[in-house]
Amino acid sequence: MEHETRRPRYALRYADNTEGRSHIRPTPREINTRMREMAMSRSKWVNALVALTVVLGAGAAQAQAQTGANEDRRPIPYPTVMSTGFQEALENGTRTPTGEPGPNYWQQWTDYTINARLLPEEKRVEGTVRIVYHNNSPEPLPWVLLQLIQNVYAEGAARSGPVEVTGGMEITRVVAGGEVLSDTAGQAARYRVFGTIMQVRPSSPIAPGETIEMEIDFGFKAPQRGRMGWNLDNLLYIAYWYPQMAVYDDVISWQTDQFLGQSEFYMGYGNYDVTIEAPEGWVIMATGELQNAEEVLSETVHQRLLAAEQSDTVVHVITPEDFGPGNATRTSETGTLSWHFTAENVRDVAFLAATESRWDAARAPVGDLDGDGEMDYSRAESFWRESAPKWEHAWRYTQHSIDFLSRWTGVMYPWSHMTSVEGGGIMGGGMEFPMLTLIGSFNQASDTSLYGVHAHEIAHMWVPMIVGNDERRRSWMDEGTTSFNTDQAMKEFYPGQNWDVGTRESYAGFARTGREGELMRRSDYQYPGGAWGVAAYPKPATMLATLRGLVGEEAFVEAYRTYLTNWSFKHPKPWDFFNTFNTVTGQNLDWFWSTWYFETWTLDQSVDGVTTDGNETTVHIKDLGLAPMPARVTFTLANGEEMRAEVPVEHWLAGNWTADLSITSDSPVIKIEIDAEGVFPDVNRDNNVWERT
């Protein structure tokens, strides 16, 4: 992302070409108008304990009055820059400047029918997917795009790091509109594969409101490690395993970015009907509802499963004594069983196959989903092996996560089950798919860490599974939001600890190195050496905690829940998030978005000196960073009382680097601290405190 040289009175630049189109540069008049609007939306901070008089010192006031002549002015945040694609969406009425979907909002829809065979000994999946794609857009589509994410494992594939080469996805037959297509006619080929993207050209464009039916035969060998894989001969976790429609949306049209292995997924919503044929003795659990449990599970296991759905405490659905054909599963004359799942309004499906995993389950409260005035429940469950004894309480971690996150987000968990899968040896952390998450390498971790990764992966059921943002380009929108939600869940499960602080310090420590990249930089283009991880996880999580401290708990929760609710099962863009908070809080927070999302400016407010004159104490504050934030100052008096004052953000937005705050008190001031509550991401808190010696 390139930046223009900043001018003294305001900063102008192009944001990166985030939506594949050019950007409109605001005029100086527009910027000055927006800056005046910002000055009218002051943050509010309540003075606690005692009344006081706050005076901006004469030197600071003089500097504020002479901002036009001050050559040493700091760079000023510019109004939030929208992509042309987003501006067109506003004009078309599919998005709104207030943050909610517009009256003309649309999104595509797909119905999938998948029949697959699992070959455990070969670590292979083969099958056929039938796709009915609904064109809800106002444009005819001469061709469609699908994702073949397994091709990240193909020989010579572009990727962000080393992976096991398995050959990728094998496509053996493609039918579109009843016509068998060929890929052997050069530029005239009816379907072509470009890395992890597949293009299909039907005989005629798909008109608005019409559908196309496609059928594709596929197969692949599963890699051993990664976001999916297998461990020994008793566990397979299968994901991104079928040709899937790419997203065509109202802002960027087709999402054509390749999957390189790091920045994750952008998927559309649809209904799924999935049948998986597997050898008897292999227990299958998948996204969706198992439609034939009585046909594939043994009677004993089936009854335990039904009991678990009515129990607040754990039911051991499968124990080590149940492993094997005829115990956990039924038997058949063919030696195979077909497991039938259906799922509605989900963006993907994945499945687990296990022969030696325990299965623990109980119910979790999610709220009144159907509006009948009664509590509804989802099944919280875990699959784990004898080699991971700390997983004994994993069902409880899942149960609490579903319960808490339904309450905290204001969006009730909508599905019948949430399944955590112990996958030590497959991956190091965790990977989420609708209703199903894989968690690895936590066999010897602390209980706290194991709960934390459960809460994190399950929080992904809200973002991006329900709130369907584009992870491929905006990792911060899902990983950062999920990290923030995880910290809130940790606070309730482990009361007395503020988990936001550790996340903030993770961000601040990296920010001090000067190596971070802007949050609005495309995820796959973050600088190497840690920038991707910080931009995806701790920084955006810290920004949410900072925003809460800035606007207040009540306003933050209202805006946050409004955003999550309005964009449930839809595709928000960053500006929808920004606009929602501006609208709900009643504040123009453009300075905040520009500072923290479009720049890598840091906050470093310092106590530069303290003077006394009789019963008046003046603290001299110097801002050593570029990020403007209110300076909230706590004065501790010798009599134990506290007085609080604030340098409003408008003072820094006027271009000043320094400010004086004066208070009058009969009791001497013994301590002065900037941001004593610790809610802002100051990168050097050592210079925030003065104490009388």
Q: What is the pTM of this model?
A: 0.91
Find out whether 15 and 83 touch, Cβ atoms under 8 Å.
Answer: yes
What pLDDT, on a 0 to 100 scale, did the predictor assign at position 23?
33
What pLDDT, on a 0 to 100 scale, did the predictor assign at position 424?
87
DSSP helix, strand, coil percent of the chain (3-state; round to 5): 30, 30, 45
3-state secondary structure 415-478: CCEEEEEECECCECCEEEECCEEEECCCCCCCHHHHHHHHHHHHHCCCCCCCECCCCCCCHHHH
Q: In whole angstroms, what is the distance from residue 79 CA to residue 89 CA?
A: 19
What pLDDT, on a 0 to 100 scale, did the predictor assign at position 431?
95
Q: In whole angstroms, what is the distance from residue 687 CA to residue 625 CA?
A: 12
Which single residue is written with the structure tokens 């998986």? 276
For the chain, how many residues are written?
A: 693
Exposure string over 546-576, b if 16+ CB within 10 A, otherwise e: bbbbbbbeebbbbbbebbbebbbebbbbbbb
Q: Hey, what amino acid is at 65?
A: A
Q: How far is CA 294 from CA 283, 326, 356, 441, in A?
A: 13, 13, 20, 33
The values of phi and psi at residue 153, to 5°, are -95, 5
What pLDDT, on a 0 to 100 scale, did the predictor assign at position 71?
52
Strand partners, 433: 436
Exposure string over 486-499, b if 16+ CB within 10 A, otherwise e: bbbbbbebeeeeeb
Q: In whole angstroms, what is the distance from residue 641 CA to residue 663 CA?
A: 13
Single out the residue of 20, 654, 21, 30 nearest to residue 12, CA to CA: 30
What pLDDT, on a 0 to 100 scale, did the predictor assign at position 444?
60
Q: In whole angstroms, what is the distance from residue 49 CA to residue 680 CA?
A: 22
Three-state SS at 18? coil
CA atoms in the 13 A half-sphere facing the CB of 663: 25
Strand partners, 351: 238, 286
Peptide bond into 279 cis (omega under 30): no
Find out whether 578 and 588 touch, Cβ atoms under 8 Å.
Answer: no
Q: How far is CA 454 from CA 197, 352, 431, in A?
A: 32, 17, 10
Q: In whole angstroms, what is the distance from residue 148 CA to residue 225 CA?
A: 18
Q: How far is CA 609 from CA 612, 683, 685, in A?
A: 10, 19, 15
Find out whether 338 and 279 touch, Cβ atoms under 8 Å.
Answer: no
What pLDDT, on a 0 to 100 scale, did the predictor assign at position 442?
64
Q: Average pLDDT by consecutive 10-residue portion of the chain (693 residues)?
A: 30 33 37 41 35 45 40 85 96 98 98 98 97 98 98 95 95 95 80 96 97 98 95 93 98 97 96 98 98 97 98 98 92 96 98 97 97 97 94 97 98 98 89 96 78 97 98 97 98 95 97 97 94 98 98 98 98 98 97 98 98 96 98 98 97 96 96 97 98 92
What pLDDT, on a 0 to 100 scale, did the predictor assign at position 73?
77
Find out whether 620 and 611 touch, Cβ atoms under 8 Å.
Answer: yes
Name the strands in the sheet holding 376-384, side by side, starting at the edge strand that comes first in the sequence: 315-318, 358-367, 376-384, 417-422, 436-439, 430-433
Q: In whole angstroms, what is the distance from residue 619 CA to residue 662 CA?
A: 6
